[in-house]
Amino acid sequence: MDVLVLSEAEVRELLDLRALIDALASGFQALSAGELTVADRTGITLPDGLLLSMVGARDVIAVKNVTLFEGNQPPLPTHQATIALYDRATGAPVAFMGGTHITAVRTAAAAALAARELARPDARSLLVVGGGVQARCHLEALRGFEQVSVWSRRGELGPVAQDLEPAVRAADVIALTTGAPEPVIRAEWVTPGAHVSSVGFNPPGGELPRELAERSHLFVETRAAFAAPPVGCAELAGLDPEHGTELGELLAGAKPGRRSAEEITVYKAMGHVVEDAVAAELAHRRALERGVGRVVEL
């Protein structure tokens, strides 16, 4: 069996962010339409971190393993991942690639897609809360804002918002990108008409205020997000799954998006294998077109 192996550096060069955002839109619609075979996310928790496994099949079978070790120090990432692709018809492995960059960029691309669909058309200001890899990826993915600011405890990125509460109150779009085990903002800080995205995952808690999830117009990748971790999001566990709209339903026109200029919309990401599969297939296809990577015979 010949397997194409792609390094993190090669995957980074192969993936185009704008193309990924558009491809994710198709992937989310397929997910909501029941065109994917998906297993519940599984994981193991260790004293210093956790490992999550995600499996899904559409055109190919994708298997992703990702570790989250928040205590890692640079240059070692806190999130590390690998992705394997298998032929849908035969089960034969066809590709194996670094998945750390994919994990980062697909998460930000999905948040950018949600913001494109849900933020007010006249949204002008963006606030990114966090200072790590996801904050950087969100700054790259969320484009077209007249005013952009960042708030983080360590102040790694700029331009820096000095005080978080007034920055949240002034922002049209707020992107939460932390690994915080508890809410990093308060629900009452979010002004009418704002859009909030949250991609952090740190069970048994999380960065998104429960009150904000409960009283907003809520959007998710899939209603599995309402299950308890590791399947879903800690911040949503126990809420009625019908409280949330899947992005695929919105994109297909089956469910409404923003319903008024004053409505607060929230996108809470759980991190779904459909995003990994879409990104990995895109990288694999371009690698074959360009002759990138190394073929290994197993």
Q: Residue 29 belongs to a domain with what CATH number?
A: 3.30.1780.10
pLDDT at 93: 97
- 88 and 114 housed in the same domain: no
pLDDT at 217: 98
pLDDT at 74: 85
pLDDT at 159: 57
- 259 and 178 housed in the same domain: yes
pTM for the complete prediction?
0.93
- 94 and 139 housed in the same domain: no
Give me the residue label for tokens 């600011």.
149
Q: Tens digits of per-residue pLDDT, 81-98?
A: 999 999 999 999 999 999
- Look at the chain and report how many structural domains it folds into: 2
Q: What residues in the chain have per-residue pLDDT under 50?
A: none
Structure tokens at 126: 């963006």
Amino acid at 105: V
- 254 and 153 housed in the same domain: yes
- 88 and 122 housed in the same domain: no
270 backbone dihedrals φ, ψ, rounded to 5°: -100, -20
Instruction: Encode burial over 200-215: b for 16+ CB neighbours within 10 A, e otherwise.
Output: bbbbeebbbbbebbee
pLDDT at 153: 79
Residue 124 to residues 149, 170, 217, Cα–Cα distance (Å) = 12, 10, 20
Residue ranges making up the domain that contains 93: 2-102+274-297
Structure tokens at 41: 């996310």
pLDDT at 77: 87
pLDDT at 233: 96
